[in-house]
Amino acid sequence: MKFKAYILFFILLVTQLVTAQVEFTAKVSKQKLGINERLRVDFEMNSEGDNFTPPSFSGFTVVGGPSQAVSHSWVNGKRSFSKTYTYILSPTKRGKFTLKQAAIEIEGETYKTIPIKIEVTAAVDKPKNSNDPSYVASESIHLVAEVSNSSPYLNEAVSVKYKLYVSPQVNVSNFDFIDNPKYADFWSQNINTKQFKFESGTYQGKQYRYVVLRKAVLYPQKTGKLNIEPLTIDVVVDVPTNRRDFFGGRMYQSVRHKVAAGSRKLNVKPFPEAGKPTSFNGAVGEFDFDVTTTKSALKSGESLQAVVKVKGKGNLKLFELPKLVVPSSLEVYEPEHKENIKTNLSGMSGMISDVYTIVPQFKGNYPISKLEFSYFNPQTKTYHTLNSLEHLIEVLTGPTNSDAVANTVNSVVEKQNVVGKTNQFASFHTTTNFVPVKTGHFFKSNLFWCLLLLPLLVIPVVLLFVKKKALIANDVQGGKIRKADKLAKKYLSEAKKNLNDKELFYESLHKSLHNYLKAKLQVETSEFSKEKITAIFTENTIDAETTNQYINLIEACDLARFTPMSSDAMQHDYNNAVNVISAIDKIV
């Protein structure tokens, strides 16, 4: 009998120890879902904790939460506690993902959840239900990519407009870009949209409102079939319900809906071979071409500038200008490239130029040969060739170069060996004003003795630092208080930064108030009740007005999870929190 009693006692003891263990787990609604479905994640704990830190949710967008649920129960005189943080997630792309660890502090210890594997597949079919707000949103919102030309030539401008069509039955209150196209096979430039303005239009023969969300200009960089990747956005849609408000008006329900523009195919045509000039280097559009010089007569050693310029409308940034051709007796420097280009939905327009600096060294007449520039016009589907005028440069003075036939010998601009004048570098400084540095011995200098005695001075400081650090490490209670005080300041600072986000603001404010109380008055989370706070404040001679303000702030943080709050109300609560903390600091 005694042996059975011992066994029974041992079983009860083990059961008590097991039930007393702290548990912190993560649960998901499903581990495999379509990209058009949503995932619910619950973080559950059986003991109250501090400073809950969720994972980053990589691959997902948080569309709901965090919401909190707390449960207290008493069974056979034993207290049972449960607290849950819930998030609703929407996947951003297909693939396999891992929900990483969440963390929380419970009774001074940090607990973490086990990572969970999630697989996101292609979109799955959902049953059609005209009363389902998500289904109504999917039928009322459409994102369309409008392409100006589906069969362009290589390097011909193509404009893309992304229009969001909205049915008159629903409203759009907000949207976010979640997947932007990369335009891998194109030279691209986005056109700034100054404001989003709804206009009337039709979609599939029905009346809709639409807004242009994004505009871009593309220049295809290779021929054949090219793919324009889709744009995907997350839209908050207000869907009408069958419920009515007090005044008889229809009530709306907000749902999040993910919509994509769909990929578009372009068939890019190569340039025709018939009639292609040898000087053609990929310029597409309609252009003017010219070569000018700043001087026609000058002295040896002076400089002039020759400008090779193309202006017009086309792919101005995607081709090179012809190289200037001059006699070898002229010294020519590398050109300075200049651009004055504007880009809109019709493409690039403006001017590009190469500015050459030329310095003649010898007397004589030097011709700058005419240049040839060719381009392809996609409107007429023909090539055009333009020629510049020939310029003659007359050098009035200077030595004569008998070895160069300046009037007849031309060469493409390259680095050349040119015999310069004796005063060519007269503008450069060729003398210095350096002074000798005073020399001396480092040994027995003041710096030597300072460096020698420095370790002896540092050792006592290091010993004091190590001793102080050991005292701090052994002070467990003091360490908890300092940590809580640091967290209180951190969360109060975060609350100020999140004044434009209600949920983050009140979550940070609640954590700040709790950690501050924990640091100053050693109040644990399990004692964080209105009655307990009032009693502790009374013991520490904190006046009733400050006590009521503190409790009102805690209640405001709890209430904010379920009711809307204005920015003025949030600013008011923040100011009250600062005043309350300051008031308690003066007393405690």
Say whether both 149 and 259 belong to one domain: yes
**Beta carbons of 507 and 494 less than 8 angstroms apart:** no
139-173 pLDDT, tens digit each: 888 999 999 999 999 999 999 999 999 988 888 87
Pairwise CA distance, residues 504 & 507, whole Å: 5
499, part of any domain: yes
CA distances for 372 relative to 248, 290, 310, 393, 408, angstroms: 77, 10, 12, 20, 19
Provide the 3-class DSSP secondary structure of residue 468: helix
Domain termination residue (choose one: 121, 145, 166): 121
Structural domain ending residue among the three candidates 86, 121, 156: 121
Report d(CA 22, CA 27) in Å as an integer.
16
Contact at 8 Å (CB) between 138 and 239?
no
Treating both helix axes as pointing N-terminal to C-terminal, what angle do 502-521 and 544-559 enclose, rounded to 10 degrees? 140
pLDDT of amino acid 553:
78
pLDDT tens sequence across 402-454? 544 444 444 444 444 444 444 444 444 556 666 665 555 666 677 777 877 78
- Asked whether the beta carbons of 69 and 44 are under 8 A apart, the reply is no
Task: Tell me, rounded to whole angstroms, the distance of Cα 77 from its chain centroid.
Answer: 54
pLDDT recorded at residue 8: 54
Non-local (6+) Cβ contacts of 576 within 8 A are 549, 552, 553
Q: Which two tokens stand for residue 504?
A: 């983050």
Which is nearest to 16 in space by CA: 28, 8, 25, 26? 8
Question: Which of 197, 217, 219, 218 has the alpha carbon at shortest distance from 209?
Answer: 197
Residue 6 within any structural domain of the chain? no
The answer as to whether 420 is a domain residue is no
Side chain identity, residue 442: F
Residue 445 lies in a domain: no
- 197-216 burial, b for 16+ CB within 10 Å, e for fewer? eeeeeeeeeeebbbbbbbbb
pLDDT value of position 411: 43
Question: Residues 228, 181: contact at Cβ < 8 Å?
Answer: yes
Return all residues near 128 (Cβ < 8 A) that are at least 6 apart: 135
Q: Is residue 227 domain-shared with residue 295, that is, in the same domain?
A: no
Tokens of 139: 């039928």
d(Cα 502, Cα 570) in Å, to the nearest integer?
Answer: 8
Per-residue CA distances from 463 to 173, 460, 467, 471 (Å):
63, 5, 6, 12
Residue type, 265: K
Where helices occur in 41-141 by DSSP H, the ranges are 133-140
93 and 138 inside one domain: no
Residue type, position 257, single letter: H
**Domain identity same for 245 and 295:** no
What's the CA angle centered on 529, arms 46 and 553, to 5 degrees? 115
Q: Could you tell me which of 226, 228, 206 has the C-alpha nearest to residue 216?
A: 228
CA distance 51 to 355: 64
User: Looking at the domain assignment, is residue 324 inside a domain?
Assistant: yes
Cα 376 to Cα 384: distance, rounded to the nearest angstrom: 6
Residues 59 and 94 in one domain: yes
- 249 with 352, same domain: the answer is no
Residues 6+ apart with CB under 8 A from 39: 28, 29, 30, 33, 60, 88, 89, 90, 91, 118
Kindly report the three-state secondary structure assignment for every residue of 369-411: CCCEEEEEECCCCEEEEEECCCEEEEECCCCCCCCCCCCCCCE
Q: Which residue has the tokens 């809307």?
A: 564
Strand 32-34 to strand 116-121: parallel, antiparallel, or no bridges (unpaired)? parallel
Residue-level pLDDT at 561: 60
What CATH code is carried by the domain that includes residue 552? 1.20.120
Of 240, 268, 296, which one is at a domain's C-terminal end?
Answer: 268
Select from 133, 51, 55 the least CA-distant residue to 89.
55
If asked whether residues 112 and 177 sit together in one domain, one would say no
* Structure-token match 């997902």, residue found: 60
Sign of CA dihedral 141, 145, 146, 151: negative
Residue 320, domain extent:
281-412
Same-domain pairing of 285 and 387: yes
User: Is 47 contained in some domain?
Assistant: yes
Which CATH number covers residue 321? 2.60.40
Measuring CA to CA, how many Å separate 388 from each of 57, 371, 475? 62, 5, 86
**Cβ contact 24:44 at 8 Å:** yes
Whether 204 and 87 share a structural domain: no
Strands (E), 181-277: 186-191, 199-203, 206-220, 224-228, 232-244, 250-260, 264-268
Strands 391-395 and 297-298: parallel
Q: H or E segment at 454? A: helix 446-474
C-alpha to C-alpha distance for 205 and 364, rounded to whole angstroms: 76
Same domain, 168 and 295: no
Task: Sort strands 372-377 and 280-293 into parallel, antiparallel or unpaired.
Answer: parallel
* Domain annotation covers residue 385: yes
**What letter represents residue 159's amino acid?**
S
Ranges of the chain with pLDDT below 70: 1-20, 72-79, 125-131, 245-249, 401-444, 472-491, 519-529, 560-566, 588
Residues 141, 231: one domain? yes
Q: Give CA separation, 25 vs 43, 119, 345, in Å.
A: 6, 20, 53
Give the pLDDT score at 404: 46
* Secondary structure element (H or E) that encloses residue 536, with its range: helix 530-539
Cα-to-chain-centroid distance, residue 418: 53
**One-letter identity of residue 230:** P
Listed residue (295, 316, 319) closest to 307, CA to CA: 295
Whether the CB-CB separation of 191 and 345 falls below 8 Å is answered with yes
Give the chain's domain count.
4
Is the Cβ–Cβ distance between 573 and 509 less than 8 Å?
yes
Asked if residue 437 belongs to a domain, the reply is no
Q: Are residues 137 and 262 in the same domain?
A: yes
